[in-house]
Every structure is written in structure tokens, then in C-alpha cells.
Amino acid sequence: MADKKILVVDDEIHIVQVVAIKLRNNGYQVYTAENGAEALDLAGKERPDVIISDYQMPVMTGLELVENLRKKSETAEIPVVMLTARGFAIDDQQRESLKIAACLSKPFSPREVLQCIEEVIGHSAAA
Amino acid sequence: MNTKNYSLAFRRYRFVHITCYVVLFLSFGLCTIFPMTTMPGYVPILVGLLGIAALLWSAIGWIRILRNLERLSENLGKGQPGLSIARDSSPASILAKQCTETMRNSQGKIEESTERQNDISLKFQLVQKQKHSIEQIIHTIRDAVVVVDSFDRIVLANSAAEQVFRFSAQTAPSRPISEVINHHEFVAMMSHIRQSKLPHLKHELTIEKEDEKHIYDCILSCIRDEQQEISGVVAVLHDITREKEVSQMKNDFVSHVSHELKTPLASINAYAEMLVDGEAQDEEAIRQFCTVIQSQAQRLNRLIEDILNISRIESGLIKVDKQNLSMALLVRDAVEMITSYAQEKNITVHNPPAILYDQVYADKDMISQVIINLLSNAVKYTRQGGSISIDSQVNEADGIIRISVTDTGVGIPPEAVDHVFDKFYRVEENKKVAKGTGLGLNLVKQIVEKVHGGRVFVSSEVGKGSTFGFEIPMAAGQPVTTKA
């Protein structure tokens, strides 16, 4: 897994830290960002294999971040896992059109995040 | 007197008159043929005298009849039913008596009928009054009421209906509803319920009123006559716009609060699981994880306290512990608490020297929370490198202390300024700048106005910054506390 890059985006620093520790402990290379603009910049530079983003963030929401990612060719295909406190915030149509790989509801479990990332990477590799 | 008696009397009177005329005729006849007869000379004289007497008697009788009839006619003309002339049994007297009696009967009937008419008139007035009263009641109802007959013509529409559908209720009666009310959906519903004969129909209608969309809960009911046939439809429209807004606000609140609660809860849950799973690789990591859990638990507690405090203040159940305090000391403590947060964003906080006499009689925890909320909001909505200043003013004449917090932050659009103290309200444009529940400023307002009888104020300019503040009464001649 050492070659797999994950970008974690959340304005809640504690959430970013805990997800990063869990993923690093499991061999992933983790990048972190506090907001959508920063994430967009990092995604273009580092080309992560998966992006984990919070849904509700200041400056740029998770959905806006995904929309912007899809506009650039180098980030258009990066799978995104959305963390949300409102499970109903993203409807199926949005998920499909923005190619959101999975949604996890807060409060989530780091184990759950890890499992989700593995599935998404496995699915991408298979595709 | 009955008809039989009257007829007998009249025949007798007629016989007497005829006899008189016969006698008169005979006496004239005898006088004519006397020279051709051998009768003694006194016979024609006697017969002549008899004839003259009969003529006189008959004439007197006629005069009496005519006089009585004249008096009767006069009395009848005056409306006097009684006649005192009928003391004999002449036909005139009898006729007069009968007329009198008929008149008396007629007058009795007229009186009875007049009484009945008065009674009906009173009942009519009463019904009119009740109708007017019911119409007034319907007109004063705040809900719009529209009534149509079985031909969809307007029977009644109250003032509220006039305002909702913008028409003149005075000219509306008897006109087809489709001509009067320019709302296709409503008109169609009225027609539909009448034709489908449903007892009731409930529907939500959106109607534009003064350039604002209003939502109405519309209940239509069929009116049935004695034969149970549908004679019309009554519609009552209740404006539920505000209720909908409140409901939406509650939903938004639940949504916001659940998000705000879930964020620290997510941290607590995640870090606890990491500890359980042995993901903390050393003592330092374990300590760091535990610290996060603790701070997030405190954050959760603060949020719950905010919600509960607003609820308690609103319901008047909060325990208030007022004492004499120095406002300058409260401000100083609040600034100390907020400094590290401001430093994270490189924001300068200016706090001028304390005013000598700035004592207030207030609840220390509550007023501290007010100042902290204003300061933390100022930091939250001020970009990196900005500044915040706190100002205290004493208005001794009015016995008021005024605290204001001015920032160089993002500012608030003019249309949003009036709503910033509303519960759950968040400035749409600033939602992306920082997270929040929309409870902090409402709590400030509740504490200042409801608990301390003061007032809050705000002024702002987009891109330049905002000034939030409050005024509360000074402690009146009470000793200054040394602790704060």
C-alpha cells in the first residue's frame, strides 16, 4: 500500500489527524488539507489515488471541491469518499454525476474509513 | 242582529211604505172618480187626508233613513265603528247596527293583523340583526372566507378574502367566482368539490400577496339544503406561511445541531476506537488522543449548554445569580480567553484601559458568555492579520454601560443585519467563512434583553467589518465587588 496516496480534507483538524494516523499506520501515504481550495491544489500536484473529503467546509464545500476536481483532466477520475454529518445531503443523482465513490456518515469509525478506502482502491484497480 | 231578523224587519218596513203608497194612490184615484160616484162628500176628503198622512209618514221615514245613513257614513268616514242612532227597528238603524258590528269585527281583525304584522316586523328586524351580526363575525375572521352558491356565484366573501385574492367584496356577490377571483387553482377546486359532492377537501395553496408568496391551508366544505342537495361551497383559507417558516427553521435547527453535535462526537468516537485498536504508538500519542477526546467532549457540552440555555431563558426557567460586577474585569477575562484563538489567525485584539466606575448588577457567567460570544464571532469572521477592538462607554445620565466589539472582518449585507440575532439565522454569504449553529448571537440577545433588561445592537459594512455590542443598566449605588 506504500505507493497509494490518500488526500484527507476536513476543516476539523482532529478528524484529519485521526484519519491520517489510521491510514499511515496501515501503510498509506497521506496528504492533508484544511479546505477545498488547498485540497484542489494538492490534488493537482500529488495526484492521490483517493480523496477523503468532508461535506460541509468553509470556503469550498465538499461538493464544490468534487465539481472542481471533475473539471480538470488530471483530477477528473480520482475517486472521492465523502464524509458527511447528514447522510441525506447527497442524493444518488449527485453521487453518480460527480462520480462520488462512497459516502460515510459522521460519526464514522477509522476502521470503517480504512475498509472503505481499500474497497475503493480495489474497485479502481479492477476497473 | 242576524241576517234573518234584519230581513224580516226590512220586509215589514217595505210593506208599510207600499201600503202608504197604495193608500196615496187610492186617495188620488177616489178624488179623480168622485164626481162620477154617489159617495158622500167627506169620503174623498177623508181618503185624501189619509193619503196625505201616508205620504208624510213615508217621507219622514225616508228622511230618517237618509239622515241615519248620512250619520253612519260620517262615522264610518271618521273611522268610528259605533253608532248611537240605532234605537229603533228601522232598516237604517238595523243597517247601521249591522255595519257597526261588522266594523267592530273588522277593526278587531285589523288590530289582530296589525299586531301580527308588528310581530313579523320585529322578527324580521331580529333576523336582519342576526344576519348582520353573523356577516360581521365572518368579516372579522382573520382567515379568508369565500362562499359560493350551487351555480358557482359568490354569495359572501370577507375582508381577509378581499386581501388574499385582491377583489372588492362589495361588487362580488352574485357574480361568477371565475370572474371575481383570479386564481385558477382555487376556482377549479371550488367547482370540483361541488361536482364531486365530497363533504370536505383540504389543500395547500400558494398565493402571491404583496410580492411575497404565502402558503394557505385551504379547507373547502359543501353546504347542503333541507333535501340534502348541495346548495353551495364554503372555503376557509388559513395563512400558514409563518408556521411553515418556523417548521423549516426547526428542521434547519435540527439539521445544524445534529451536524454540530456529530462533529465532536465523530472525533471522540474515532480517537476512542484508535486507542482501543492500539493505534497510538507511544505514551505521547495516547496522551494526545485522550486530550482530543476530552476537548471534544467539552465542546459537545458547550453546545448542549447553549441550546439548553436558550431554551431555559425563553421558558423563563433559568437560574439567574446577579451581583455587582466590574464590567472591565469581565472584558479583561474574556479577552484573555480569546487571545490564543485570535493569535492562531494573527488577529490583534485592542482592549482600552478600564473605566473607573463601570459596575453592573449582572449574572457573571452570563455576561461573560455574552462578551466571549461577541469576541469569538469577531475572530471567526475576521481574516488573517485583521484586528478587533473593544470599547466601553458609560452613560451616567441614563445609567447605562455600553460595550462594543468592532472587527475588520467580512461584514454583513444590509438585508441580513436585522436578522443576525434571530435564532438559527446564519448569514448566507458568510456560511462558507466559518461554521456555526446560529445560536451564539441569539443567546447574547436573550441574556442581554430578557435577563438583564438591556439591548443589543449591530452595524456592519460588507468587506470592512462589523460592530456588535450591548447596553445594560449600571448597578445603582451598590458596593463594588472585589472579585470578578
* Angle, in degrees to the nearest 10, between helices B283-315 and B241-276: 160
Point out the residues of chain A with pLDDT beneath 50.
Answer: none
- Whether residue B270 and residue A108 make contact (CB cut-off 8 A), yes or no, is yes
Would you state the cell numbers that stand for residue B334, as one nine-digit string?
Answer: 474574556
Domains, chain B, with CATH or none: 3-106 (no CATH), 141-239 (3.30.450.20), 245-315 (1.10.287.130), 322-473 (3.30.565.10)
Instruction: Chain B: give the shortest CA distance to residue A127, in Å.
Output: 31
pLDDT of residue A88: 52
DSSP single-letter state for residue B419: T
pLDDT bin (cut points 50, 70, 90) of residue B421 is very high
pLDDT of residue B483: 37
- Whether residue A56 and residue B434 make contact (CB cut-off 8 A), yes or no, is no
Domains, chain A, with CATH or none: 5-121 (3.40.50.2300)
Which of B73-82, B263-272, B321-330, B346-355 has the weakest average pLDDT? B73-82
pLDDT bin (cut points 50, 70, 90) of residue B354 is low
pLDDT bin (cut points 50, 70, 90) of residue B477 is low
pLDDT bin (cut points 50, 70, 90) of residue B84 is low
**B377 within 8 A of B410, measured Cβ to Cβ:** no
Which among A18, A21, A22 is the nearest to B267, CB-wise? A18
Half-sphere exposure of A111 (CA within 13 A, CB side): 9
What average pLDDT score do residues B406-431 get?
Answer: 87
pLDDT of residue B479: 40
pLDDT bin (cut points 50, 70, 90) of residue B90 is low
- Whether residue B271 and residue A14 make contact (CB cut-off 8 A), yes or no, is yes
Mean confidence (pLDDT) of chain B: 84
**pLDDT tens sequence across B146-190:** 999 989 899 989 989 998 888 887 788 889 999 889 889 999 999
Would you state the cell numbers that stand for residue B99, as one nine-digit string?
Answer: 255595519
**pLDDT tens sequence across A15-43:** 999 999 999 999 999 999 988 889 999 99
Would you state the cell numbers that stand for residue B210, as one nine-digit string?
Answer: 404583496
Position B65 pLDDT exceeds 80:
no
Residues 6+ apart with CB under 8 A from B305: none
Residue B12 touches chain A, beta carbons under 8 Å: no
ipTM > 0.95? no
- Whether residue B268 and residue A107 make contact (CB cut-off 8 A), yes or no, is yes
Which ranges of B345-473 does DSSP label H, i.e. alpha helix? Answer: 364-380, 414-417, 440-445
**3-state class (DSSP) for residue B391:** strand
Determine phi and psi for B17, rounding to 5 degrees: -65, -45
pLDDT of residue B27: 73
Element (H, E) at A31: strand A29-33
Residue B431 touches chain A, beta carbons under 8 Å: yes
Element (H, E) at B15: helix B3-33
DSSP B83-105: -S---S--HHHHHHHHHHHHHHH
Q: Tell me how crowded residue A71 is: count the other CB atoms within 10 A of its CB.
A: 10
**B474 within 8 A of B394, measured Cβ to Cβ:** yes
B72/A116 Cα distance (integer angstroms): 123
B280/B288 Cα distance (integer angstroms): 9
Residue A115 touches chain B, beta carbons under 8 Å: no
- Count CB pairs under 8 A between chains A and B: 70
| Contacts within 8 Å (CB) and 24+ apart, B51-59 | B51/B23, B51/B24, B51/B25, B51/B26, B51/B27, B52/B24, B52/B27, B54/B19, B54/B20, B54/B21, B54/B23, B54/B24, B54/B27, B55/B20, B55/B24, B57/B20, B58/B17, B58/B20, B58/B21, B58/B24
- Most B CBs within 10 Å: which of A8, A11, A14, A108, as the mutation test of the B interface? A14
Residue A13 touches chain B, beta carbons under 8 Å: no
Sheet holding B455-461, edge to edge: B348-350, B387-395, B400-407, B465-473, B455-461
Position B451 pLDDT exceeds 70:
yes
- Whether residue B262 and residue A85 make contact (CB cut-off 8 A), yes or no, is yes
pLDDT bin (cut points 50, 70, 90) of residue B8 is low
What is the end-to-end Cα distance of chain A in Å, rounded? 18
Sheet holding A50-54, edge to edge: A29-33, A5-9, A50-54, A80-84, A100-105
pLDDT bin (cut points 50, 70, 90) of residue B461 is very high
Position B266 pLDDT exceeds 60:
yes
pLDDT of residue B409: 94
pLDDT of residue A94: 80
What average pLDDT score do residues B338-349 get?
Answer: 90
